[in-house]
Amino acid sequence: MFPHLLTAAAGIAFLAYKQQDPSSAQLPTWGATHPGGNLRRATNGAGNPLPSGTSSLAVQPAGPLLMDPVLINKLASFNRERTPERVVHTVGQGAFGTFVVTNDVTGFTAARVFNQVGKETPVFVRFSNVNGKAGVAETAHDQRGFALRFYTKEDGNLDFAGVITDVFHISDPMLFPDVNRVSLLNPVTNQKDPNMAFDFQSLRPETTQRYIKLLSDNFFAPGSMRSMDGFSVNIFLCTNSAGVSVYCKFNWKALQKIAPLTDEAAISLAGTEPGYYTKDLYNAIDSGNYPRWSFGMQILTFDRVNTLSFNPFDITKSWREDEFPFIPIGEFILNRNQANFYAEIEQAAFDPANLVPGISPNTPDIMLAARLFSYKDSQRYRLGPNFEEIQVNRPISPVAKYERDGPIRTSAASNGLGDPIYYPNSFNGPGIDEFAARLDVPGFANGPISRQDRVVDNFSQVIRYLQTEVSPAERERMAGRVAKDLISIQDQGVRERFFKNCIYPLGTPFSDMVVYYYGTLTNGAGRDLLGQT
């Protein structure tokens, strides 16, 4: 057909295939380790063998197309392959592993998953970019999520829908849709729009602490998913077997230290290796270099609540470890990659309402109260009302529930067999667990019921963070990143307001450094940040 090409090709000596890394070589490895796989019959979902996979049933030589059940099934299946994207945390990767209790924390919580040193529990984690969509470069600057699930043997799944910073943007759930929308695409231009993001932030200064922390080296461009820490952010109520309760947060710290990427390396990798973090994690686990994290808690006793200089239930505020020490509970290791990405990662559905006896949501954290509804509701929309029947979401402890019917009921057992469908009943339906009931202790709240846009100190913790936890060199890099963000804002009013409301209150020398770098990058235009000409 192309004789000149065939002649040239005859003299080419192709190099033998060389495996570059486990992620890139998945298909060749599969083929090499599954000899004879091509001898299996190709079928449809009903098990009917396929007569062809390449040609449609038609009147020859040129048609028309006839009713071809093989083709119709292939097209119909293809049209339905995608489930709706997550609204946020769309891009993600995960892995499976094991958690081992290393410290006795029964004085703080009766949760049976943590009740014995040496106890092992299967875990699953999902790392994610918060605002990027499918195909986005993973090294692009983003907020990043880090969710953790314990498949407890006694009490169902325990989920922490965490992030990589110890604080959140907002403290009132009314703003949750807005804080996410402003980081999405402009509805007219379909482009990222810094005017939206910084307009919102300039009007809500409580976003400042998380914004600044995300500009630090380890958050701006982490070296790997394996070096990321995770934070539950929300405040829970932990109760021990004696009925004594404390407020608590849960955190997990990477035990492998990997240097963050430079800004230049992150930009370069965004173009050459958009799935950099996913490949790094997959290859590390595949090669036996299993990453590990220390998992623990911070506690706040009831008597300390009113002595603090900040509201500890405002998740835009940090529980600093010098005031709330990290108490180790155990370690988890990730040692298994997914067998199939869609089945085990894309269909994973985390829910902050998945808690076990001894860990309760009965706290004044109103963001947690909203998440208890929002997360499960979004999964019902995305995956269907019975998404917990999907294997990655299914608990390993026994399930005996009163919910019935709907999609994804795969067996009579999953639909309750002949059990009563109502409670209470006198026909031996599932009963209430006394252990869970005893630990379902009340929370405490008092005051008027009203809407209140709170005026609080949004800057003291950020100033202390910049002064005590960031080196001078890193502080300068962070100031330079703020300056670049300011340049990206096209609206002069938004730029001035963001600097005035969110950066200037951080005081000198940081705000002065921002002005300096802004002036350097704009040929001396730094004065316009203060509305001067």
Tell which of 342, 372, 396 closes a domain: 396
Least confidently predicted of 193-197, 248-252, 522-526 = 522-526
What the block records as the tokens of 129 is 């970019």
**Cα separation, 401 vs 418, whole angstroms:** 12
Mean per-residue pLDDT, 150-166: 97
DSSP result, 491-520: -HHHHHHHIIIIIGGG-TTHHHHHHHHHHH
Q: Residues at the annotated binding site for heme?
A: 375
Q: What pLDDT score was predicted for residue 288?
A: 97
Q: Both 129 and 249 in a single domain?
A: yes
CATH code of the domain containing 253: 2.40.180.10
Query: Does pLDDT of 217 surpass 50?
Result: yes
Least confidently predicted of 69-78, 119-128, 306-315 = 69-78
Q: What pLDDT score was predicted for residue 9?
A: 45
Least confidently predicted of 13-22, 223-232, 495-504 = 13-22
Question: How far is the CA of 195 from the CAs of 111, 486, 498, in angstroms?
Answer: 46, 10, 10
Tell which of 351, 368, 396 closes a domain: 396
Torsion of CA 486, 489, 491, 496, to 10 degrees: -20
Tens of pLDDT, residue by residue over 503-531, are 999 998 999 999 999 999 998 766 666 66
Which helix (H) or strand (E) segment holds residue 293: the answer is strand 292-300
Tens of pLDDT, residue by residue over 435-470, are 999 999 888 777 778 888 877 899 999 999 999 999
Domain annotation covers residue 427? no
Tens of pLDDT, residue by residue over 395-425, are 999 998 888 898 888 889 888 888 988 889 8
Q: Where are the beta strands (DSSP E) in 102-188?
A: 120-129, 145-152, 156-163
The total number of residues shown for the chain amounts to 533
Q: What pLDDT score was predicted for residue 7?
A: 45
Q: What pLDDT score was predicted for residue 84?
A: 86
Tell which of 379, 396, 413 closes a domain: 396
Q: Both 354 and 466 in a single domain?
A: no
Backbone φ, ψ for residue 269 (5° rounding): -65, -30
Q: What pLDDT score was predicted for residue 526?
A: 63
Q: Both 226 and 302 in a single domain?
A: yes
Tens of pLDDT, residue by residue over 5-56, are 444 444 445 444 445 688 888 888 888 898 888 888 888 888 888 888 888 8
Q: What pLDDT score was predicted for residue 445?
A: 73
Query: Does pLDDT of 331 surpass 70?
Result: yes
**Cα separation, 381 vs 394, whole angstroms:** 18
SS3 335: strand
Q: What pLDDT score was predicted for residue 8?
A: 46
Domain annotation covers residue 484? yes
Backbone φ, ψ for residue 64 (5° rounding): -80, 170
What the block records as the tokens of 440 is 């379902």
Q: Helix count (H) and strand count (E) of the chain?
A: 16, 10
Q: Residues at the annotated binding site?
A: 375
Q: What pLDDT score was predicted for residue 297?
A: 98
Q: What is the mean pLDDT of the chain?
A: 90
Domain annotation covers residue 75? no
Q: Both 488 and 389 in a single domain?
A: no
Domain annotation covers residue 208? yes
**Cα separation, 161 vs 291, whole angstroms:** 19
Q: Both 488 and 350 in a single domain?
A: no
Q: Tell me which residue range forms the domain holding 526.
A: 460-530
Confidence of residue 86 (pLDDT cuts 50, 70, 90): confident
**Cα separation, 142 vs 215, whole angstroms:** 10
Domain annotation covers residue 78? no
Q: Both 157 and 277 in a single domain?
A: yes
Mean per-residue pLDDT, 189-213: 95
Q: What pLDDT score was predicted for residue 19?
A: 52
Query: Does pLDDT of 3 surpass 70?
Result: no
**Cα separation, 182 vs 381, whole angstroms:** 22
User: 126: which strand partners?
Assistant: 94, 147
Q: Please, are residues 221 and 260 in contact by the beta-carbon 8 Å criterion?
A: yes
Q: What pLDDT score was predicted for residue 530?
A: 60
Domain annotation covers residue 18? no
Q: CA gyration radius for the chain?
A: 27
Domain annotation covers residue 260? yes
Q: Where are the beta strands (DSSP E) in 403-474?
A: none
Query: Does pLDDT of 533 surpass 60?
Result: no
Q: Please, are residues 361 and 233 in contact by the beta-carbon 8 Å criterion?
A: no
DSSP result, 66-106: P--HHHHHHHHHHHT-PPPPPSSS-EEEEEEEEEEE-S--T
Which helix (H) or strand (E) segment holds residue 231: the answer is strand 230-231
Q: What pLDDT score was predicted for residue 89?
A: 86
Query: Does pLDDT of 2 surpass 70?
Result: no
Q: Please, are residues 349 and 394 in contact by the beta-carbon 8 Å criterion?
A: no
Number of domains in the chain: 2
Confidence of residue 133 (pLDDT cuts 50, 70, 90): confident
Question: How far is the CA of 369 from the CAs of 135, 170, 352, 502, 505, in angstroms?
Answer: 32, 14, 9, 28, 31
Q: Both 468 and 390 in a single domain?
A: no
Question: How far is the CA of 152 from the CAs of 119, 286, 368, 414, 497, in angstroms?
Answer: 11, 25, 22, 19, 49
Q: What pLDDT score was predicted for residue 5?
A: 46
Domain annotation covers residue 325? yes
Is the preceding omega at residue 194 within 30 degrees of 0, hence cis? no
Q: Both 222 and 321 in a single domain?
A: yes
Q: What pLDDT score was predicted for residue 402?
A: 84
Q: What pLDDT score was predicted for residue 527?
A: 65
SS3 211: helix
pTM of the model: 0.90
Q: Cβ neighbours of residue 38 under 8 Å, at least 6 residues apart?
A: none
Q: Give residue for tokens 């005590």.
A: 468
